[in-house]
Each structure stands twice: as C-alpha cells, then as structure tokens.
Amino acid sequence: MAIRLLLIEDDEEIADFISRGLREEGFVVEVAADGTSGWLDLKSAAWDLVILDWWLPGQDGYTLLQRFRQINQTTPVLFLTARDAVEQRVQGLNAGADDYLCKPFDFSELLARIQALLRRRPGSIGARLEYLDVAMDLATQRVERAGRPLDLTAKEQSLLLFFLRHPGEVLSRNRIYEHVWQESFDGLSNTLEVHVMELRRKLEAHGPRLIHTVRGRGYLFGEVPPLGR
C-alpha cells in the first residue's frame, strides 16, 4: 500500500511546494493548514509520517507534537521551522520529534530525511507494491523488474506507481494525467505519450510489454493485452 504522509503547514506556498513534490515521488499527501485541523487529522487517521511546522494558527506545532506523543509513540515526526537556535532544536527533539529541518531548505534534503525516517520505521521492509516481476519500494523509491533496478525519472516513477495501483484496469488518458500531473488533460499535449513510451522502453529492457494501448480508451497495465494493440 502507498505511504501516507500528513503535512501540517499554514504557509500555502510552502505547503503546495512540498505536497506537489512528494506526490510526484509517489507518496499520498494530506495537508492541514492550521493546528486545529491538524490535530483532528492526527488523531483520526493512521499516518506513516508527519511533517509538522512549528508556528501554526490555533495550536502551535510544539503543542501538537506533545499531544500526539501522548496517544502515538511510534509514528515519525519531522519538524519544519525557521527556528534554528540549538536550544529550540533540542526542545523540539525532546518533545518527541524524530528529526528537524530548518527553513529554507532544499527539497532533495527534505526527501532524503523522509526516506531515512521511513527506513527506520518498524515494518518498513513491507512497504512495497508488486505486480508480476515489477516491484517498487515506497520507502526507498527503488524500482526493479526481474530483480534489476530501473533508473526512472520522478514523473516516470509516479506514472508506474499509478499503474501498479490499478493493474488490469483500462485507465483513460484524462484520469492518468489528472492523477500524475494534477492537471486536466487538454487532448493536445503529447506529454503523457512521451512518458509512457520511455517507461515502456525501460520496463521492456528486462521483460515483455506490460503497458498496452487500448484504442480510444487509454492504457492498461497488465500481462495480457486487451483487444486493440
């Protein structure tokens, strides 16, 4: 199953930047914009990791973390904040944070810290999606076919992740585009076709075709091609 992340961040621009980037990496991301809604999300669902801002309207992140640790001692929490004094970092870690990242930051560092926390999580070895001889480790983002690693771009990986979640289904171009690119498909762009072609090429270097075109309907990810091509 997919890795589920909760981002509690009141800055709309930062929240959009983080959530878009993480979704492109294949994570399922929910966003809360204040401490009140963040607390409701924290206690009402199971999360694989929480990304928590310190300064929030309603309840601040420090208070949320203390309350969360009273009911959940295992879910990793990564603090995001502009507070960079040593004593403040220590305060956050002592309250139960597993890691600490000061703003501004590079997305690559945020992603690396998230992946490191997920690898240390109990049971993370089982965070995989598999279909036939294709496997994706959702914590490390490693993709293999027939035991051989595939070098995929972030978008190709997001596309494969969507296919892995829907094997044997005919997926329309519009549905794929809205999920992977988070935009409406205008019918004129060949962006989807180019990415499918590249993903096919990399998959077929180690086995038979798995992504089939269904004329007039979209694509099917599976072992047996439907009528069409």
Per-residue pLDDT of the chain (229 residues; tens, 9 = 90+): 568 899 999 999 999 999 988 887 778 899 999 999 999 999 988 898 999 998 899 888 889 999 999 988 889 999 988 766 666 677 778 788 899 888 888 998 998 899 888 877 655 544 678 899 999 887 677 899 999 999 998 889 889 988 988 888 999 988 888 878 767 766 677 889 999 999 999 999 999 999 999 988 999 999 865 454 4
**Structural domain spans, the chain:** 4-120, 127-221
Give the right CATH number for 4-120 from 2.30.110.10, 3.40.50.2300, 3.40.50.920, 1.20.140.10: 3.40.50.2300
CATH node for 127-221: 1.10.10.10
DSSP secondary structure, 32-94, as one string: E-SHHHHHHHHHHS--SEEEEESS-SSS-HHHHHHHHHHH-SSS-EEEEES---HHHHHHHHH
Q: Which residues make Cβ contacts (< 8 Å) with residue 108, sequence separation at least 6?
A: none
Q: Is the pTM of this model over 0.75?
A: no
Find where tokens 């490191």 sit: 116
Q: Give the CA distances from residue 99 to residues 26, 58, 137, 203, in Å, rounded to whole numbers and listed in that order.
A: 21, 23, 22, 36
Half-sphere exposure of 91 (CA within 13 A, CB side): 11
Same fold for the pair 4-120 and 127-221: no
Q: Which residues make Cβ contacts (< 8 Å) with residue 50, sequence separation at least 6?
A: 5, 6, 8, 42, 68, 75, 76, 77, 78
